Structure 1
Amino acid sequence: MADRALFAGRSFAALLFDMDGTLLSSIEAAERIWGRWAARHGLDVEAFLPTIHGVRAIDTIRRLDLPGVDPELEAAGLTEDEMHDMGGIKPIAGAVAFLAGLPADRWAIVTSAPHALARRRLAAAGLPVPEVLVAAEDVTRGKPLPDCYHLAASRLGVGTADCVVFEDAPAGIAAGEASGAAVVVIAATHLEPMATPHPLIESYDELALSIEDGQRIILGARG
């Protein structure tokens, strides 16, 4: 069976990727560290952990509004702990080869992690650092707001409406939608099926990639 177009009749200027859960799996390390933090603060760990994914640490802590807790200090401490725990970090299946097939100036990573942590995790997963990496420090308003995706597209010299956003978490998907980009959902780390109107894949091995005239990107689903 021939490959079919993922977005019929469309080509794109650039691809914008979330990192955790989208290009690599860091769920083991993140939940170890956040779980200990939540327990120290008397939170229901099992109920709390699903809320941490896809958003900046400082925004997660601010949302809790815990008495006597400084969100900036706590977020910095959590990041430091995460910097020293790379256990279980690995690339999403097919991600390494898929990224290798993209022109260097046609893709970016847009993550809620800080720059230093993003680079450490990418190295641990054996993934490249792109020319454009938008991280937590680069925006004042994180996901689910679209600022980070607008910034990444701008740095690539394109508009978000001419991009595809790859995401895994609800906050990131909402940010991609709000940016005006097309969205692909990566379900590799999902424990439960996700209802979404967007194309959903388990791994990048399911995607066919072609570059038109050295610039325009066409995505297909392998038949």
Structure 2
Amino acid sequence: MSLFAPDRAFSAFLFDMDGTLLSSIAAAERVWTAWARRHGVDAEALLAHLHGRRAIDTIRALNLPGVDAVAEAAAITQAEINDVDGVAPIAGAPAFLAALPVGHWAVVTSAPRALAERRMAAAGLPIPAVLITAEDVGNGKPAPDGYRLAAARLGMETHNCVVFEDAPAGIQAGETAGAAVVVISATHQQPLDTAHPSVTSYEGLRPEASAGGGWRIGRA
């Protein structure tokens, strides 16, 4: 059944942040490129695998000798908080979020809370009642922990939720959590190979109350 079918309804909407609700690619890549150069890391290769994961997980995976991953992740987070130049909402995201019922949507991001709040504010987006960040889970994406926790805090089951994602790690997290997945491709430079429905942005979409209960994804 299509996610956009009139009889397909969800109890909650769960959103990734970077690349899904807002674009922060330029700012993130500026900070990470500078960090990579300081540590002798191939910046281009690093950026290719950066998005959708927690900073500390990215640094630990590099296994750099003498590097304190916790301290470096904290420094990167502060640099990203300081640099929000160019951070902007994905087209249609503000209106889509404004139409959602309170208590039926959440944001699940790999960013630390301070950075998430900074970027959401810079993009002019509201902070939801449930915001799951890097500090809230022991295992970041692609583990499903964040989406499961968000659904639980909303009082929902993940199999009754729809996840909006843009990166492979997050898509896998949504899949493993048992949720339906919609891929937002606004920031993709190349098409993403995915079996999930993909839309460029939220323009032309709107949440609608379903006659049978819950909320569906309608087309404006």
Cα displacement string for residues 172-198 of structure 1 (whole angstroms, at most 9, x for unaligned residues): 000000000000000000000112111
Instruction: Report the residue type matching 2:55 in the other structure.
Output: A
Identify the residue that residue 103 of structure 2 maps to in structure 1: 105
Identify the residue that residue 16 of structure 1 maps to in structure 2: 14
Identify the residue that residue 198 of structure 1 maps to in structure 2: 196
Identify the residue that residue 156 of structure 1 maps to in structure 2: 154
1:73 and 2:55 aligned: no
> Cα distance, 1:109 vs. partner?
0.3
Q: Percent identity?
A: 61
> Cα distance, 1:220 vs. partner?
3.0
Identify the residue that residue 187 of structure 2 maps to in structure 1: 189
Instruction: Report the residue type matching 1:93 in the other structure.
Output: A
Q: TM-score, normalised by structure 2?
A: 0.96
Separation in 2 of the partners of 1:7 and 1:156? 24
1:144 to 135, 139, 142: 142
Instruction: Report the residue type matching 1:154 in the other structure.
Output: A
Identify the residue that residue 120 of structure 1 maps to in structure 2: 118
> Cα distance, 1:52 vs. partner?
1.0
Instruction: Report the residue type matching 2:172 in the other structure.
Output: A
* Contact kept? 1:93, 1:204, Cα under 8 Å: yes
Identify the residue that residue 82 of structure 1 maps to in structure 2: 80
> Cα distance, 1:208 vs. partner?
3.4
> Cα distance, 1:206 vs. partner?
3.0
Unpaired runs of at least 5, structure 2: none
Separation in 1 of the partners of 2:211 and 2:204? 23
Cα displacement string for residues 137-178 of structure 1 (whole angstroms, at most 9, x for unaligned residues): 000100000000000000000000000000000000000000
* Contact kept? 2:6, 2:216, Cα under 8 Å: no
Separation in 2 of the partners of 1:183 and 1:7? 14
Instruction: Report the residue type matching 1:203 in the other structure.
Output: S
1:55 and 2:53 aligned: yes
Separation in 2 of the partners of 1:49 and 1:101? 34
Q: Is the partner of 1:204 in helix, strand or coil?
A: coil
> Cα distance, 1:5 vs. partner?
5.6
Instruction: Report the residue type matching 2:173 in the other structure.
Output: A
Separation in 1 of the partners of 2:192 and 2:168? 10
Separation in 1 of the partners of 2:4 and 2:213? 18
> Cα distance, 1:221 vs. partner?
4.2
* Contact kept? 2:147, 2:177, Cα under 8 Å: yes
Identify the residue that residue 135 of structure 1 maps to in structure 2: 133
> Cα distance, 1:79 vs. partner?
0.3
Separation in 1 of the partners of 2:29 and 2:116? 16
> Cα distance, 1:89 vs. partner?
0.1
Separation in 2 of the partners of 1:44 and 1:205? 36
Superposed CA RMSD: 1.5
Residues 20, 68 of structure 1: alpha-carbon distance in 2 compared, 3 angstrom cutoff: same
Q: TM-score, normalised by structure 1?
A: 0.95
Deviant stretches of 4+, over 2 Å: 212-215
Separation in 1 of the partners of 2:128 and 2:99? 13
Residues 5, 109 of structure 1: alpha-carbon distance in 2 compared, 3 angstrom cutoff: closer
Separation in 1 of the partners of 2:23 and 2:103? 24
